[in-house]
């Protein structure tokens, strides 16, 4: 059994065999993700050497890969991104909505990822805003943030969209802020029907040949899982962002064991509300993991309504209008432990504290450059050397 229980170790152990068997059908983004994850925070990436003045320990801090599929690289990203988002937040109540792709449509999504994912995000957000802006609901334009996820707890292919929606909005002339009534945003069943119809019509207009690949009952399935109140103000938003935006398909702490042939990981059985272990071959684990590597250049986080870049003026109006209104909705406490953990990981990664004694009295004493690997080698899948990748001093 391996003592290195992380996804990088799994990639280094099984990537060569996986590339040999499936390299011809893999996307360039998948090969790039495997290379990045395997070399993340290793000597291959280069880094800095620090010395602790308290315990005299010297250590290397190697650079991360910054690949969005890598579970190691998001500590510093989350802390930085959350700080940037604070200035855009509105002090109002929010709703959390999830729209899920039915089973019958998932094959088409997997075959035509960039088109289908982008269409899904845009259609769900557009139909939601159109329904919310009706006079019987908000009667104005809300702020919407949409995030695409493609996995379930067992790493199966399960594309769905998480949306954060302000429980109110600004009317088009910018003179009023309208709020939702009580704890209700829009009827989920009606929204589900509208999403299905709009998506079907969009596919028919842009790529009609795809309709033949999709069973007719997909358009009658349940598209929206739920829409629930999420809390009020900046803390509710930061809670949401920290929980969903930078999440990867699986994190290292869920890896239980790695052997020469198998991987065991933990997952939550939601029906029985308990944690379970699942053991699969290393090849099967990589297959499942790579299902969730998004195409190059695809934006999985998108802003709509008041949060769209074209609505900056209305954002300012909304903030001014909300200052003079009494807050409504349930206050949700900020996940201070999660944000603090992100900050601690960022500090550790960048050498700001000693990994041995946690002292901040550290100083830079050396640097190493990144090892240049030809891009062509990465795309051809030349990963045989990963099994012996050195993680010690360069």
pLDDT in tens, 155-204: 999 999 999 999 999 998 888 999 997 789 999 999 999 999 999 999 99
pLDDT score for 326: 55
Other C-beta atoms closer than 10 Å to the C-beta of 387 total: 12
| Residue 315 domain-assigned (yes or no) | yes
Query: Has residue 32 got a pLDDT over 80?
Result: yes
Domain that holds residue 38: 7-69+348-388
> Total domain count for the chain?
2
Please state the three-class secondary structure of 81-134 as a single string. Answer: HHHHHHHHCCCCEEEEEEEECCHHHHHHHHHCHHHHHHHHHHHHHHHHHHHHCC
Q: What is the mean pLDDT of residues 363-376?
A: 78
DSSP 144: E
| Residue 198 domain-assigned (yes or no) | yes
| Residue 148 domain-assigned (yes or no) | yes
| Residue 113 domain-assigned (yes or no) | yes
What value does the mean pLDDT of the chain take?
Answer: 85
| Residue 256 domain-assigned (yes or no) | no
HSE toward the beta carbon, residue 131, CA cutoff 13 A = 21
DSSP 299: -
| Residue 186 domain-assigned (yes or no) | yes
Query: Has residue 4 got a pLDDT over 90?
Result: no
Residues 12, 147, single domain; the answer is no
Residues 153, 234, single domain; the answer is yes
pLDDT score for 335: 42
| Residue 265 domain-assigned (yes or no) | no
Q: What is the mean pLDDT of residues 91-119?
A: 94
Residues 80, 122, single domain; the answer is yes
Residues 209, 96, single domain; the answer is yes
Residues 124, 224, single domain; the answer is yes
Residues 191, 310, single domain; the answer is yes
- Return the minimum-mean-pLDDT range out of 79-83, 216-220, 281-285: 79-83
Residues 215, 82, single domain; the answer is yes
Residues 372, 308, single domain; the answer is no
Residues 166, 36, single domain; the answer is no
What pTM does this model have? Answer: 0.85
Residues 334, 371, single domain; the answer is no
pLDDT score for 88: 77
| Residue 276 domain-assigned (yes or no) | no
Residues 11, 138, single domain; the answer is no
Query: Has residue 336 got a pLDDT over 50?
Result: no
Residues 90, 133, single domain; the answer is yes
């Amino acid at each position: 059994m391996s003592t290195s229980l992380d996804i990088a170790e799994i990639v280094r152990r099984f990537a060569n065999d996986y590339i040999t068997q499936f390299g011809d059908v893999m996307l360039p983004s998948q090969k790039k993700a495997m290379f990045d994850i395997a070399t993340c925070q290793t000597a291959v990436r280069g880094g800095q050497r620090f010395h602790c003045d308290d315990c005299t320990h010297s250590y290397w801090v190697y650079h991360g890969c910054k690949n969005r599929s890598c579970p190691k690289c998001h500590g510093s990203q989350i802390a930085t991104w959350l700080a940037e988002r604070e200035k855009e937040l509105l002090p109002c109540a929010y709703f959390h909505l999830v729209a899920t792709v039915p089973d019958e449509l998932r094959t088409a999504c997997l075959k035509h990822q960039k088109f289908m994912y982008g269409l899904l995000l845009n259609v769900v957000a557009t139909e939601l805003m159109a329904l919310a802006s009706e006079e019987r609901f908000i009667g104005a334009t809300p702020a919407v943030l949409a995030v695409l996820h493609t996995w379930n707890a067992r790493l199966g292919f399960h594309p769905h969209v998480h949306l954060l929606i302000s429980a109110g909005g600004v009317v088009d002339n910018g003179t009023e802020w309208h709020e939702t009534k009580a704890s209700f945003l829009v009827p989920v069943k009606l929204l589900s029907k509208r999403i299905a119809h709009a998506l079907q019509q969009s596919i028919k207009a842009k790529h009609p040949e795809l309709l033949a690949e999709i069973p007719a009952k997909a358009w009658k399935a349940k598209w929206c899982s739920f829409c629930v109140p999420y809390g009020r103000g900046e803390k509710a938003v930061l809670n949401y962002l920290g929980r969903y935006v930078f999440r990867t398909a699986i994190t290292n702490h869920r890896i239980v064991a790695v052997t020469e042939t198998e991987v065991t990981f933990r997952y939550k059985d939601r029906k029985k509300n308990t944690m379970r272990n699942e053991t699969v071959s290393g090849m099967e684990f990589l297959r499942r993991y790579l299902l969730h590597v998004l195409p190059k250049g695809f934006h999985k986080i998108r802003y709509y309504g008041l949060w769209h870049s074209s609505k900056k003026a209305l954002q300012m109006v909304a903030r001014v209008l909300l200052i003079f209104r009494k807050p409504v909705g349930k206050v949700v406490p900020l996940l201070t432990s999660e944000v603090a953990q992100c900050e601690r990981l960022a500090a550790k990664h960048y050498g700001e504290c000693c990994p041995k004694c946690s002292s901040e009295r550290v100083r830079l004493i050396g640097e190493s450059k990144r090892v240049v690997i030809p891009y062509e080698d990465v795309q051809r899948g030349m990963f045989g050397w990963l099994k012996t990748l050195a993680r010690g001093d360069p």
